[in-house]
Amino acid sequence: MAFRQLAALLKAGMTLDQALASAAQSGPFYFRNALNDMARGVGAGQPLSEILDGYRGMFHPVVLAIVRAGELTGNLDTSFAILAEFFEAEAELRRTIQGALVYPIIVVVTAILAVAVLAWVGFMPGTWAVRLFWGLVIIAGLWLLMRFRIVQKLARFVAMLLPFFGSIMQQLAISRFCYTFGLMTQAGVPYLEGLETARTTVMHPLVERAVDFVYAGVRNGVSIEDSIRAQPVFPAVVTNLIGSGEQAGSLDSALLKAAEFLRTDAEYKIKAASKFAGPVAIVIVGIIVALILISFWSSYFQNIMSVLEE
pLDDT at residue number 52: 85
> pLDDT (tens digit, 9 = 90+) per residue, 255-267?
989 988 988 888 7
pLDDT at residue number 214: 92
Q: Three-state secondary structure along 227-280?
A: HHHCCCCCCHHHHHHHHHHHHHCCHHHHHHHHHHHHHHHHHHHHHHHHHHHHHH
Selection from 183, 200, 196 nearest residue 88 by Cα? 183
Tell me what the mean pLDDT of segment 14-31 comes to.
85
Tell me what the mean pLDDT of segment 233-247 comes to.
89
Tell me what the mean pLDDT of segment 295-306 comes to.
65
Tell me what the mean pLDDT of segment 75-86 comes to.
82
Return d(Cα 210, Cα 232) in angstroms, integer: 8
Selection from 66, 61, 90, 71 nearest residue 183 by Cα? 66
Q: Is the pLDDT of residue 126 over 60?
A: no
Average pLDDT taken over every residue of the chain? 79
Those residues whose C-beta lies under 8 Å from the C-beta of residue 12, and which sit 6 or more positions away, are none
> pLDDT (tens digit, 9 = 90+) per residue, 206-227?
888 899 999 999 999 888 889 9
Q: Ranked by mean pLDDT, which of 64-68, 123-127, 185-189, 251-255 comes out on top?
A: 251-255
> Using 50, 70 and 90 to split pLDDT, how confident is the model at 302?
low
* Radius of gyration for the chain, computed over Cα atoms and rounded to the nearest angstrom: 26
Tell me what the mean pLDDT of segment 107-125 comes to.
68
> Using 50, 70 and 90 to split pLDDT, how confident is the model at 71?
confident
Those residues whose C-beta lies under 8 Å from the C-beta of residue 182, and which sit 6 or more positions away, are 251, 252, 253, 254, 255, 256, 258, 259
Q: Ranked by mean pLDDT, which of 210-214, 245-249, 298-302 comes out on top?
A: 210-214
Higher pLDDT, 271 or 53: 53
Return d(Cα 65, Cα 200) in angstroms, integer: 8
The domains located in the chain, with CATH, are: 2-86 (1.20.81.30), 102-264 (1.20.81.30)
Higher pLDDT, 124 or 204: 204
> Using 50, 70 and 90 to split pLDDT, how confident is the model at 307?
low
pLDDT at residue number 175: 87
For 269, phi and psi rounded to 5 degrees? -65, -40
Tell me what the mean pLDDT of segment 231-253 comes to.
89
pTM of the model: 0.65
CB 224, CB 242: distance < 8 Å: yes
Q: Is the pLDDT of residue 5 over 80?
A: yes
DSSP 8-state assignment for residue 13: T
